Structure 1
Amino acid sequence: MGLFDKFKNFKSNFTIGDKLNIENSRDISNKLHDNTNYLKDRFKDCSDINFRELKKSLGNNKYGSILLVFTDGLVNNAIINESIIKPINFSHRLDNISDINITLLQDIILINSVKVTKKFDDVIHSILSGETVLLIDGSEEALLLNTRGWESRSVQESPVESVIRGSKEGFVEDIRTNTAMIRRKLKDSSLKIQDLKVGSKSNTSIAIIYMDDIVNQEILQSALNKLEKIKIDGIFDTGYIEQFLEEDTFSIFPQMQITERPDKACGNLLEGRIVILVDGSPDALIFPVGLVQFLQSPEDYYERFIFANIVRFIRFVGFVVASTFPSIYVAVTTFHQELLPSDFVLNIAKGRVEVPFPPVIEALLMEITIELLREASARLPSRIGQTIGIVGALVIGDAAVKAGIISPIMVVVIAITAIGSYIFPHFSTSYSVRFIRLPMILMAATFGAFGIVITWAWIIAHMCKLHSFGHPFLTPFAPINTKDMKDAALRGPMATLAYSPSSASNKNKRGK
């Protein structure tokens, strides 16, 4: 291959993205005029990018030029005025000197966080992240000044994971506020927070949080490798990260837990798990997890263990009821009437005299109606949504019974099933239960109780196969881990929970 052919081949493989990457990584010039023109060209038609040039007299009719660049709305204007502009304008250290230099300005400016860079990609990212960039004529370096000060939601109780007893703090959309809440609860130097940028266009900040002396280093390294391989234009919520990190994309069960509660995140950190925060999202991702974590609530640890165990047992019962109750009704009324008392069978028959559909059609119609009401109430404003959900269910259920479309007993079955779906502390678990319910109804209508057994066998086999970063989904039940049974379906007294479970970490062996 000749030189011309090599050049042509190189040119064909040289994409526009490569050109932009090279241009973005260019060094800062020592001529302020060139730097200003470059930034104005990059931020052309960006009305929120402000350029403020300061002229400082150096004596002998000489002036030093200083350029400040920042994004309006992402900065605290008071900090810029009081900590940058005012010290520069009124500092006597800049009088009668030959030239202004970066080192001198670092001493004058009253900013607690100052970084120095020679790259324009750092400059542009800092401007778009709420920092103020300072450039001077004659220097190939720029100062990145922390002046972030955008409006954000104040810390308040999580509307999804509210508790009667316990902390009322919830995560907000600002990542630094969230990391500070975790740091305030875990005052230990082994708490590590690593920052990454994900998203080629959004450059979203994410924080990977873990306890260095407890976490499984193999799981941590695996997570970091997967995060670095994410290729996407923008990340706007933890849901993006979850879908990139999960091992079985097509599983109906979530392999990571989400929470809006700092105390829950801290509790999982002490158990050797990893927490991921995404800037702009009030949710935290927790992994590795198993099925039992989705049925646990922070309130389980704030109440005495006897009462906590009763409530936790009710959640496990609710899981079975929400997933299986309609299919049991369909199987019994279709194939196994002999299992019910004769009086009860007669009452069911009376209620179904005018119903033209078989039980399976009844169940499917009611399930679809409940799902429509659920989605409608979730999308409407909160006050209207609650009214629509309650009134709609009562009116539609009563009208359907009077019209002979469904039987009264079916309304009771679906109502109990819906209530069972709402008891899960982890909302995403309800999606899994709702997905399980429909095929189980069809299997019950086809094969009776045997169909329910087959469906549950498939589900259990799938859960046995499922892993969350190498962590078995059914631990500590499959494989059996007696040491971690102290906080599984039931929990022991608080004295037995002093140390992290052995299945979550391979470093903390104090629980033996």
Structure 2
Amino acid sequence: MTPIKIIPKKKRQKKNPRYIRDEPVETIDNLSGPEYKEIQTNLDINISYLKEVFGESADLVTRKLHPHPDVSMVIVYMEGLAGSQQVQDSVIKSLLDWFGTTKVIEDPGALISSISDTSLTIGDITQTDLFEEVFSNVLSGETAIFIQGYNQSIIAKTKDPTKRNVGEPQTQSVVRGPQEGFTEDIRTNSTLIRRKIKNENVRLESKTVGRYTKTEINIMYINGIVNQTIVDEVRRRIDEIDIDSILESAYIEELIQDSTISPFPTIFNSERPDVVAAGMIEGRVAILVDGTPFVLLVPVVFPQFLQSSEDYYQRSDFGLMRMLRYVAFFLALLSPSMFIAIKTFHQELIPTPLMITLAAQREGVPFPAFVEALIMELTFEILREAGIRMPKAVGQAISIVGALVIGQAAVEAGFVTPAMVIVVSITAISTFVFPAYNLAIAVRGLRFAFMILAASFGLYGVTVGLFLLVIHLCSLRSFGVPYMTPIAPYNKTDQKDAIFHLPLKWLTTRPRLINQANLTRQQSKNKFQKN
């Protein structure tokens, strides 16, 4: 792959804060509101413009202070976003105490620097001379401090620390392993990852996307392991996003994915810190989005969607459970279509006693096998969606009991045969075996396409559909990495952790096409173990 060249943007030179005492004071009539970009030296103009931009919002707090006879300032923050107690203790009280002990201001030009360095007890303080940066910080929960006579504002990090506690993952549970999941707070999520990887080479880059939402996005990777070309490609795709809002990581996933029309996901998402940490150690890049507990991982390959973190926490079974998931994948994809094809076109493949039983079941059923399967599949999909949308206390009961009751009633009413109910039930249960929910959605959609091919052309149609599916999968790429790696292109070294899962002492290298900088995971021999 050709390396991507990143041309850095020229950084705008920051102006030194000006302290103006003798210049003529500007008036609000001399300024054009919509084009008013830089902070002025007049305090009243700055506050009037802030209130004008925010539309006199009731939750915009502007607290005036006169901590010194020669100093007038205004504290600006958004109520509910900023921590009220933190603003009171670390900003207002700190300023009043500091000015209370300062009798004479010897150097007025250095007042902002003195306040930032010696007065405020906030850990993170920045300065800006642009209103755009003030708006962004205030709407993120920070506090802006304006001082009469200065064309810069002090930004104190006072974001409200209230957030959801770290709890158990809701969609990716395991029997053995960590029971903590990501939250909606992006800083909590990056902290959970750093707790897993205590290494100074972990890099975190921050970006803001969304013209209105100004959503914070973090890119995390391990320097020295990751392929730098992939990092550059992730940066490029995120920088090219121009959209009004980013409300969930699915927005980013759809906007930076390689193939939009493919039913198969080319970006992996997880709400488990251990899964994301394991992916970064293999050389992948994590993308964190503020406001969602789902973190993205790129690049991704197809076998990754059928791997569970629990595979590495239990004793190695050489991939038996993982191979069971591959069997479930083909059952969920092909069971209805194979039953339709054999029952409609290839009855000679059915043993005679079973054929007689199936023929007896069809007595009184007015619909062909395809219509039977379509009725049952649509009914089960409706029940599954209803179970998801219903309250948790009754949702699961409705989906399971509803399927049993409706299936039994449909058989007694003569709409479908008992054999078709069994086939659809096996198909539905197989979709729950997938660790990745988005892969199950792709299989659910493709299942109907295979049913149509089976009803039209029998096993020949199913075979052609499989050929087209394999060709499509082999043509996909995820950030330059072939989607079917290490199956196609075939890589003998990486087969130890693809379909099979060998013991950890044999997993000595990282995936080759994903990582090209540091392939060695561990030493090939463990002196405490005997072969």
Q: Match for 2:42: what amino acid? A: K
How many residues are paired up?
488
**1:68 maps to which of 67, 71, 75:** 75
Residue 498 (structure 1) shift: 4.0
Residue 344 of structure 2 is aligned to residue 337 of structure 1: no
Assess if the C-alpha contact under 8 Å between 1:101 and 1:139 holds in 2: no
1:437–1:21 CA distance, 2 compared to 1 (3 A): farther
Instruction: Determine whether 1:423 maps to 2:433.
Output: yes
**Are 1:257 and 2:271 an aligned pair?**
no
1:112-511 equivalence runs, <5 A: 112-306=123-317, 309-510=319-520
Deviation at 1:23, TM superposition (A): 3.0
1:96 has 2:110 as partner: no
Distance, in Å, in 1 between the alignment partners of 2:34 and 2:287 is 31
Distance (whole Å) between structure 1 residues aligned to residue 330 and residue 145 of structure 2: 62
Q: Which amino acid counterpart does residue 76 of structure 1 have in structure 2?
A: G
CA offset digits 1:458-486 (Å, max 9, x no partner): 00000011111111111101100111111
Give, in angstroms, the shift of residue 95 of structure 1: 2.3
3-state DSSP class of the match of 1:316?
A: helix
2: CA distance, partners of 1:79 / 1:254 = 43
What percentage of aligned pairs have identical amino acids?
39
Show structure 1 runs of 5+ residues with no match.
1-19
Q: In structure 2, what is the equivalent of residue 83 of structure 1?
A: 90
Question: C-alpha displacement at 1:394, in angstroms?
Answer: 1.0
Q: Is the 8 A contact 1:271 1:499 kept in 2?
A: no
Distance 1:159 1:259 in 2: 11
Task: State the alpha-carbon separation in 1 of the partners of residues 511 and 321 from structure 2.
Answer: 22
Supply the distance in 2 between the matched residues of 1:287 and 1:112 (Cα, whole angstroms): 33
1:105 CA displacement: 1.1
TM-score, normalised with respect to structure 2:
0.89
Q: Contact 2:508 / 2:520 at 8 angstroms: preserved in 1?
A: no
Take 2:274 and 2:520, find their aligned partners in 1: how far apart are those partners? Answer: 22
**C-alpha separation in 2, matches of 1:210 and 1:500:** 15
The one-letter code matched in structure 2 to 1:94 is T
Q: Secondary structure of 2:303's match?
A: helix
After superposition, the Cα gap between the structure-2 partners of 1:286 and 1:22, relative to the gap in structure 1 and judged at 3 Å, is: farther
Q: How far 1:81 sits from its partner (Å)?
A: 1.2
Q: What's the CA shift for 1:509? A: 3.0
AA partner of residue 95 (structure 2): I
SS of structure 2 residue aligned to 1:38: helix
- Measured in 2, the distance between the counterparts of 1:294 and 1:171 equals 19
Q: Secondary structure at the match of 1:52?
A: strand
Instruction: Find the aligned partners of 1:289 and 1:278 in 2 and give their Cα distance.
Output: 18
1:43 to 38, 48, 54: 54
Partner amino acid, structure 2, of 1:480? Y
Shift of 1:88: 1.6
Deviation of 1:500 after TM superposition, in Å, equals 1.9
Distance 1:500 1:201 in 2: 41
Deviations 1:218-243 (A, max 9, x none): 12111111111101000011111111
Return structure 1 stretches of 4+ with deviation > 6 angstroms: none
Contact 2:301 2:482 in 1 (8 A): yes
Judged with a 3 Å threshold, the aligned counterparts in structure 2 of structure 1 residues 21 and 136 are, in CA distance, closer, same or farther, namely closer
How far apart are residue 321 of structure 1 and its match? 0.2
Partner deviation per Cα, 1:257-303 (whole Å, 9 max, x = no partner)? 11000000000001111110110011011111111000001000001
Higher helix share: 1
- Inter-partner Cα distance in structure 2 for 1:104 and 1:77: 24
The offset of 1:150, in angstroms, is 4.9
Conservation of the 8 A alpha-carbon contact between 1:101 and 1:136: no
Q: Contact 1:28–1:118 at 8 Å: present in 2 too?
A: yes
